[in-house]
Chain A
Amino acid sequence: MNAHAAAPPPASALDDPRDHALAVAGLRAGYGRGGDIVCGIDMIQKPETIVTVIGPNGSGKSSFIKTLAGLLPARAGRIEVTGRDITALSPARRVAAGLAYVPQEANVFASLTIAENLKLATEFIRGRAGVGPGQRERVLALFPELGQRPKTLAGNLSGGQRQMLAFACALLANPEVLLLDEPSAGLSPKIVGETMEAVVRVREAGVTVLLVEQNVAAALAIADEVVVLVAGRLSLRAKAGDVKQADLAGLFFGKEA
């Protein structure tokens, strides 16, 4: 898994880069000619942890994760995955560097079959170690129902099944870090629980998970750490067990912790 561990540590201000799966420093991003939506985020995430990013609507959570995935260009700062600077890479090259991303909705190709979705997950990703039949077997073992009906159109799957397919596609690229943008969006409460269990299984398979979530209760239940984003800045970072939902109300409405 640690294919990049042997590389010399990059000249950054971050301490020992081999000890974090994901490192973000001074990250700024925004749309078009508008002001910054992500206003200087610093954050380090240890390997095989689950960190949940929460925050009020418009706090820049989704823009933050899109910037990490490379769909929104960073205006300043740097992003490292297992010590390697990926700030300048295209979304696809970031996947090859070990950073997989599951978008919020429309995260599978609805007009393609399950088998085609799984095939496309790695077909055009070049130069990623550990991608192949072995990884495919491991991923399908995590989500057994996907292997059963390869010819079903992804658009005909239920919300929960679609989410599992999206996770599976991301995991086929053998990522170090998995970014999930609101995995519970549009799902019924029961399916939200199943989805969160799937996230835990993914972490147990050795993947570091960063998720953005509106559903605070569901996200707190599985996270190791919680990061609260308000107006594009980190306003709190704490162990998930130490955070009570009641405390969050104050934070969400802009008071400092």
Chain B
Amino acid sequence: MVAQLFLNGLVTGLLLALPALALTLIFGIMRFANFAVGALLTLGAYAGYLANVTFGLPLPMAAAFAALVVGLACVLCDELVFERLRERGSITLLVASMGVSLVIENICRFAFGNAARSFDLAVARPIRWNGIRINYEQMTTAGVVVVALILFHLLLSASPLGRAMRAVADNPSLAAVRGVERRTVARITWMLTGALIGIAGVLAGLDRAIDPLMGWNYQIPIFAAAILGGLGSPLGAVAGALLIGIAEEMSTLVLPPSYRQIVSFSVILLLLLFRTNGLFGAKAVRK
């Protein structure tokens, strides 16, 4: 039972890792917490649904389509809303992202209605191993997320683009002097993080029904994960996501399952009270 919950938690955590990473990267470059992350995840699930069910594409293609759609949606939101408000400060941007969240959610509702939907998938019998049930959706999720995280890690740590992204997050005016245009880097970052959220949306759609409010199930855990890892720290966000996922599932040992979001709220509360930099936020550079 404990092992089963741990495994479920690990997969939930992996699913949270992509949007948490997206949230933390956008925070680094744009200096605000993007509250629309949940709605963008919903958009990703619907884009995947459109490709998979309406167009009849296989799921990997649907995920690629969702990545593209959400990436473009992020660039569009930036162009129309966030870039124009950038000078007004992070609180204005945070509030604006709540508005963007409502708009995206209602576009989904307008296009697809309130009814719960799901992907067109063959039902498969879960694998049993030492008394633990592992279903195919979980394996897909784990595989896709691990590959995406490795690719993103390589991109951030070893490519010129990754260096440029970290440089802008660290010191935008110095980056400008070095020929790194913040605007270009910001657009690319939106596109890439949107792709991460889109893929996460499709993975979330494998796990539960697709409806206009599904993003809200992930919103608070995503924020808890990113804050736990120290906002702005990519590795921290991934570690935070795994911890939150596992803690949420394990909490069902002592709490009714419908209360498991309490874990995320408590983590945010405790961090705000005792460790505002998160677990990894302050460690990177010792002043």
- Asked if B178 contacts A111 (CB within 8 A), the reply is no
Contacts of A112 in B (CB 8 A): 163, 166-167, 170
Query: Contact between A124 and B178 (Cβ–Cβ < 8 Å)?
Result: yes
Cβ B163 vs Cβ A101 within 8 A: no
Partner of B174 from A107, A123, A124, A125 at Cβ < 8 Å: A107
Nearest CB on A from B35, distance (A): 25
A-B contacts, 22 of them at CB < 8 A, read A71-B177, A91-B176, A92-B176, A92-B177, A92-B180, A92-B181, A95-B177, A95-B178, A103-B177, A109-B166, A109-B171, A111-B285, A112-B163, A112-B166, A112-B167, A119-B163, A120-B163, A120-B164, A124-B160, A124-B164, A125-B179, A155-B286
Query: 1/0 contact trace for A150-194 toward B, CB 8 Å?
Result: 000101100000000000010000000000000000000000000
Chain B: minimal CB distance from A102 (Å): 9
Known contacts A109-B175, A110-B285, A153-B284, then 19 further A-B pairs from the complex at CB < 8 Å, ordered by chain A residue: A69-B177, A90-B176, A92-B179, A106-B174, A109-B171, A109-B174, A110-B170, A111-B166, A111-B170, A120-B163, A120-B178, A120-B180, A123-B160, A123-B164, A123-B179, A124-B164, A153-B285, A155-B286, A155-B287
- What CA separation (Å) do A125 and B181 show in the bound complex? 11
Assess whether B92 is interfacial by the CB under 8 Å rule: no
B163 and A116 form a contact (CB under 8 A):
yes
Is B173 located at the chain interface by the 8 A CB criterion? yes
Instruction: Indicate if A126 sits at the interface (CB-CB under 8 A).
Output: yes
From the candidates A96, A106, A124, name the one contacting B180 in the complex (CB within 8 A): A124
Q: How large is the interface on A (under 10, 10 to 19, 20 to 34, 35 or more residues)?
A: 20 to 34
Q: How far is the CA of A169 from the CA of B178 in the complex (A)?
A: 9
Contacts from A to B (Cβ < 8 Å): 69, 71, 90-92, 95-96, 101, 103, 106-112, 116, 119-121, 123-126, 153, 155-156, 169
B residues with a Cβ closer than 8 A to A are 160, 163-164, 166-167, 169-171, 173-181, 284-287
Interface centre among A91, A103, A116, A156 (most CB of B within 10 A): A91
Cβ of A126: which chain B residues have Cβ within 8 Å of it?
Answer: 179
CB closest chain-B residue, reference A109: B170
What A residues does B160 contact at CB under 8 A? 123-124
Question: In the complex, are the beta carbons of A71 and B176 less than 8 A apart?
Answer: yes
Contact among A71, A123, A156 for B285, CB-based, below 8 A: A156
> Within 8 Å CB of B167, what residues of A?
109, 112, 120
Whole-angstrom distance between the alpha carbons of A111 and B287 in the complex? 11
A96 vs B179: C-alpha distance when bound (angstroms): 9
When chains A and B are docked, how far (Å) is the Cα of A199 from the Cα of B173? 23
Give chain B nearest CB distance to A139 CB in angstroms: 15
